[in-house]
Structure 1
Amino acid sequence: MPRLVAARGNTRPGLYEWACAEIRSVHARPDPRGHSEGGWLSEQLRNARHGQPVTLPAWMLDGHTARADRVVGAIPQDRALRAAAYAVGPDDSILPAV
């Protein structure tokens, strides 16, 4: 599990539920390119099942699905300020993860 590096984070109502649904969705559909998410996905599925923080790459929080579900804005728009991944907690908090 990545370390959380920010002392203060953003909170978005419903973000944890959305993040867990995205992780389950990625797990349910195989990658047509033959790439495997490996241990990362398994670990995040386990965390979601046990109500622990889940870690998502930044692109998942600003991609097409996030826009369609109106989740955009949870992370900085400026890519120079973004972390590579974010931890989303059961309390809907979001913190940069390293």
Structure 2
Amino acid sequence: LKDEIKWSQHKAMSYLSTIELRGIDRTGILLDLAKTVSEDFSINIRQINIQTHDNIFEGTISLYVKDAEGLHAIMDKIRKIKGIDTVKRNQD
């Protein structure tokens, strides 16, 4: 029961956010994206969806963040990954 209470409190302090991505596809870009989110921010990724066509990739990454400030920090860091051109919050 104690673990359930901790989990529900943690869940209540976070909200699901989806980030839209676009850029030039290259070997390792998905790894760089996952490492940036998981290691630099200690955030679990809920879902990643990436499609490529003619060396251009588009996709989304869904994750739980604590607040808008944290989301913007993650987005700023993702923008620095080589090959990423567009990073924006999905408003749906």
Confirm or deny a common fold (TM above 0.5). no
Give the structure-2-normalised TM-score. Answer: 0.32
Between Structure 1 and Structure 2, which shows a larger proportion of strand residues? 2
Structure of higher CA gyration radius: 2
